[in-house]
Amino acid sequence: KRRIGVMTSGGDAPGMNGAVRAVVRMSIAQNCEVYAIYEGYEGLVQGGDMIKEMGWDDVRGFLSEGGTLIGTARCKSFMERPGRLIAAKNMIVKGIDALIICGGDGSLTGADKFRKEWPGLLEELIQKQELTEEQVEPFKHLNIVGLVGSIDNDLSMTDATIGCYSSLGRICESVDYIDATAFSHQRAFVIEVMGRHCGWLALMAGVSCGADFVFLPENPPPLDWEDDMCKIIKKHRELGKRKTIVIVAEGAHDRYLKKISPAHVRDLLTNKLHLDTRITTLGHVQRGGTACAYDRMLSTLQGAEAVKAVLEATPETPSPVICMIENKIVRRPLLEAVKQTHEVAEAIAAKDFDRAMSLRDAE
């Protein structure tokens, strides 16, 4: 019987529970044993009670719960080889030879590194007499399958990450609340949303809420953005608009990579356009709450596909990440998806915004 481990890692996202539920139930349906690894890689390094076998009933009700019920953490020790050596031992002791990880690009990078090191880790465990050759023999290959859980929709090669539509929905709802009061008092609101390297949430919130101006990391505004923004907002006001909404991504900056802060935008609107301007930082409201229908569906279909990917894996297949492309659930090489994701961040850091945007378009 195969034994599959499932964990959530890195930043939490609505829909992660749906993924865990699907992995647990699909594994059982495929006659495998399935283990939840609590608190992400921390649970893998600590072992013992942090790795628990899951039954069909243990995930009852998971679909409609927000966050991640099996916990997530940032784990320093897994970043270093000695931590991963302990993790490998804990897996073998529990008899687990496949891991399904729902997390962001950091978690998936760590997972692929773990798989590459796996044969070396096993050798070291034998050398150090932590395990015998007979104990290690059935665990020669480690299967890793990634599921992308991230509210930012920041992984390349997939149209949507688990959590992004829940978060976008939450932002739209919040902007609707703000709209009503902004309209009443004819105020302007500068709304900060999450997204350090990826402006998807900000851009889609702008489109969905009819914002006046949006600031994104990948596509900074023109050099004269201050005048440009004020001109546009003034025009909107002259057309009779009683409220102003400006959306600023957390990672927004100008073409010199200088941060564009909500306070700076507010000061411009106050001083140049004499608008009564307030700042709202949506913060963790964007992560919390239950998953929307789309994320429940996505996490369920992808979780089931992840189990299939484990069962069909050969030693030669590179670790896959489960994606959604043009409304189809597909597998892609995990490392390539992570590499492309990093290329966007590198293009932004190099101020090559045309490249950053063309990479985003290509996605």
187 annotated among ligand-binding-site residues: yes
The footprint of ligand ADP (CB under 6 A) covers 9-11, 41, 74-75, 78-79, 103-107, 109-110, 113
Minimum separation from the CB atom of position 40 to ligand ADP (A): 6
Residue closer to ligand ADP, measured from CB, 15 or 103: 103
57 annotated among ligand-binding-site residues: no
User: In 3D, which of 232, 257, 258 has the Cα closest to residue 246?
Assistant: 232
Residue closer to ligand ADP, measured from CB, 113 or 308: 113
Minimum separation from the CB atom of position 257 to ligand ADP (A): 21
Minimum separation from the CB atom of position 317 to ligand ADP (A): 21
Residue closer to ligand ADP, measured from CB, 91 or 233: 91
Residue 97 known to be catalytic: no
255 annotated among ligand-binding-site residues: no
Residue closer to ligand ADP, measured from CB, 171 or 345: 345
285 annotated among ligand-binding-site residues: yes
96 annotated among ligand-binding-site residues: no
* CB-based contacts of 264, cutoff 8 Å, min separation 6: none
Minimum separation from the CB atom of position 123 to ligand ADP (A): 19
Please pick, among 12, 97, 112, 152, the residue that the annotation labels catalytic. 152
287 annotated among ligand-binding-site residues: yes
Residue closer to ligand ADP, measured from CB, 29 or 79: 79
Question: Which residue number places its CB atom closest to ligand ADP?
Answer: 106
- Give the annotated binding-site residues for substrate: 150-152, 187, 194-196, 250, 278, 284-287
- Give the annotated binding-site residues for Mg(2+): 105
- Give the annotated binding-site residues: 11, 74-75, 104-107, 150-152, 187, 194-196, 250, 278, 284-287
Catalytic site residues? 152
- Give the annotated binding-site residues for ATP: 11, 74-75, 104-107
